[in-house]
Amino acid sequence: MRSKPKPLLRDHSVVKSKPRKRRDPTQPQLPFDEMPDRIEPALALLKGTAPTGTDFLYELKFDGYRLAVHVEPKGVRILTRGGHDWTHRFPKIASAANDLGVGTAILDGEAVVLDEEGRPDFGALQRSLGGRGGERASSEAVFYAFDLLYFDGHLLTETELSVRRHLLADLVGEGSDGAIRFSEELGGSGTDLLNAACELGLEGIIAKDRDSKYRSGRGGDWLKIKCVQSESFVIVGYEKSPVARGGIGSLLLAARQGDGWVSVGSVGTGFKEKDAVELRATLDKLKVTKPVVSLKGKNLVFSAPTMIAEINFRGWTNDRSLRHASYKGLRERQDNADIYKIG
């Protein structure tokens, strides 16, 4: 079966990792580290421009679901960014992890579904899982591994990223096109790579400090540079319209602020009539009389902050509303860790 093309890699070199020797079983055993039940993921900090110099390596920014694949003595577990067990949702990835031939490992990466041009398609990933609230197992998703946090009984979070990626490339195999693939390093300047990604309709690029240890949260060692900004917000209602598709003129959006919510404006483009009909039917079931954020206006219907939407936008206005927002799709309710936080 012919593998999918890699759009950004067509015109840019791939930096190959140097092969590393596998551990010699005749050598004395190093002390084993207890395998963590879960490691809070490292997150990339949003930047407007790519860094310069040789301290950073570059990868594609994938448009999918962040996952941690745990290869354990009793089997494989696949956890979402928020810690939910989704092993049953990605059986092909779980099977491929089981076939890696390692006793214990934790791989950090992203599950995506690729379009005909080899580009990650978030909507296609959602459909493969049965949509919001669906429990379908995806037979199309592939997992791009970009970090190795635990390997062969040893915790690697205090090890430099460059070393972790050498081990990961040796484990997964560079150039692999199965259900688990290695996220390859891209050669070239950050500016050129970003321009190429944007021209090809990709999300953007990720820059990572080669010498950094693995730090949970947004520490600044990982940077994301996007072609178009995209974040997750909760839908807190909609504006009724007698002429708009599905009766929805726009969706009302909110972000987290402390223990509560704050309005970030609305989105009225990006969804088709079928999407609008389904959104309205679900939001009407979640209807509340009092909005969870301060909103006033005619024809507004308020809902509980349950549904999570992925939104493309071009920036922020002075009053902290989204500028040129466009609806991209729904995220699973378990993905509440992805909801954008203000302050």
Which residues are known to be catalytic? 61
DSSP annotation of 88: G
Residue 334, classified by CB atoms within 10 Å of its CB into exposed (0-12), middle (13-18) or buried (19+), is middle
Query: 137 Cβ partners below 8 Å, 6+ apart?
Result: 88, 89, 90, 91, 129
* 140 neighbors 113 (Cβ within 8 angstroms): yes
Cross-strand pairs, 143? 111, 180
Residue 158, classified by CB atoms within 10 Å of its CB into exposed (0-12), middle (13-18) or buried (19+), is exposed
The CA distance from 282 to 132, in Å, is: 11
* 144 neighbors 118 (Cβ within 8 angstroms): no
| Cα–Cα distances in angstroms (integers) from residue 2 to residues 9, 118, 141, in the given order | 16, 12, 16
Residue 304, classified by CB atoms within 10 Å of its CB into exposed (0-12), middle (13-18) or buried (19+), is middle
* 159 neighbors 113 (Cβ within 8 angstroms): no
Cross-strand pairs, 315? 323
The CA distance from 141 to 232, in Å, is: 21
Count of CA atoms in the C-beta half-sphere (13 A) of 216: 8
For residue 60, the SS3 value is strand
Closest to 307 (Cα-Cα) out of 330, 337, 325, 341: 330
Copy the structure tokens of residue 52.
């310069």
The CA distance from 137 to 183, in Å, is: 23
Copy the structure tokens of residue 12.
């840019």
DSSP annotation of 7: G
